[in-house]
Amino acid sequence: MKSFPKHVLIAGGAGFIGQNLVRALLIRDTDIQITVVDNGEHLTTTALPTESVRLTWRQCDIRQRDVIAKVFDRTPFDVVINLAARAGVADSIANPRLNFEANVIGHFNLLDLARTHGARHFVFASTGGAIIGDGQPPLTEDMVPNPLSPYGVSKLVGELYADIYQRCYKFNTCCLRFSNVYGEYSAHKGNLIPMFIKSALKGTKAQLFGDGTQERDFIYVGDLVEGICRVLEREPRGVIQLATGQRTSANTLVALLAKVLPDEHPLDFEYHSSRSGEVYQTWCDNRKSIVLLGDYIGTPLEAGLRHTVNWYRSHYRVRGGT
């Protein structure tokens, strides 16, 4: 096992997963120095623990190579983690150019600058279902890609660039395919769990797209972050899925949410037609990640949802998020 990195750059570190990862790393290693680059688009940027002298936040856009290069010029990073992305199938279909610029051009800028500035490891946040498409689940790392949206294509391109840099330049890269992540600091997200919780707290009706039988692999952000931390410790290469290995239907998920929400905020929703480009069934085989990283899954779905609801009740404002 290699030494834990001392200087880490996290692109998109003020977002949902980034907020959780930054906090976990500051606790995990008292010597670590973290630089976050983020475009500041989401209100989560105001919640970064900037009181820590071991954290530096620079508001900039990874699409602007000259600006990002100045960040690399200031600090010799051991590891670069790219969590920055225009996420979401529907948004990528509505605006494919913006998706491409952020997820392909921005990713390339970070990857190339990490290599030329001597980083020893590059970690890329990818996705499983959007890349594999309608492949028969459970998904594995060696399945043939078949993306159904610009978002899936952009993540696949990111993986291919990471792989070719590893082969051409002997540069250590790891692509982590996240399953459906939920948890604290997700108030700006537009997927099912955040939207249903926010609707319940506001007393409005939520929308469930599809008939509710569609299935996903839902991983609690604390478990995902534990997996990422172990990647930083062990520095594996290639594509690895971080997931629970369990499938849950949307209807089952909604029933669990209704159970953990407080009585004064009951859940109310209605069904709508499925949206274009979304995969009907997707869950993951996580055995490769368990072999490489050990068992990082420790939070049952109901417990994770309860943690998430409790955070929203403390931090989410009805007219906005934190």
- The pLDDT tens digits for 253-277 are 999 999 999 999 999 999 999 988 7
List per-residue pLDDT tens for the chain, 322 residues long. Answer: 678 899 999 999 999 999 999 999 999 999 999 999 999 887 666 788 888 999 999 999 999 999 999 999 999 999 999 999 998 888 999 999 999 999 999 999 999 999 999 999 999 999 988 899 888 999 999 999 999 999 999 999 999 999 999 999 999 999 999 999 999 999 999 899 999 999 999 999 999 999 999 999 999 999 999 999 999 999 999 999 999 999 999 999 999 999 999 999 999 999 999 988 788 888 999 999 999 999 999 999 999 999 999 999 998 876 544 4
| Fold designation for 7-181+218-242 | Rossmann fold (3.40.50)
Q: Which residues are catalytic?
A: 151
Each residue of 56-74: pLDDT tens digit?
999 999 999 999 999 999 9
Contact 204, 266 (CB under 8 A): no
Q: Name the pTM for this structure.
A: 0.95
Asked if residue 113 lies in contact with residue 138, where contact means CB atoms within 8 angstroms, the answer is no
CA distances from residue 24 to 142, 175, 228, 317 in whole angstroms, order as listed: 30, 20, 10, 25
Q: What tens digit of pLDDT does each residue of 279-298 get?
A: 888 899 999 999 999 999 99
CATH level 2 (architecture), domain 187-216+247-283+300-315: Alpha-Beta Complex (3.90)
Dihedral angle sign, alpha carbons of residues 97, 98, 102, 105: positive
**Residue boundaries of the structural domains of the chain:** 7-181+218-242, 187-216+247-283+300-315
250-260 vs 192-202: helix axis angle to the nearest 10?
Answer: 40
DSSP per-residue string spanning 190-233: -SHHHHHHHHHHHT--EEEES-S--EE-EEEHHHHHHHHHHHHH
Q: Where are the alpha helices (DSSP H) in the chain?
A: 16-28, 65-74, 89-94, 96-100, 106-116, 129-132, 150-169, 192-202, 221-234, 250-260, 287-293, 301-315
CB atoms within 10 A of CB 54: 14
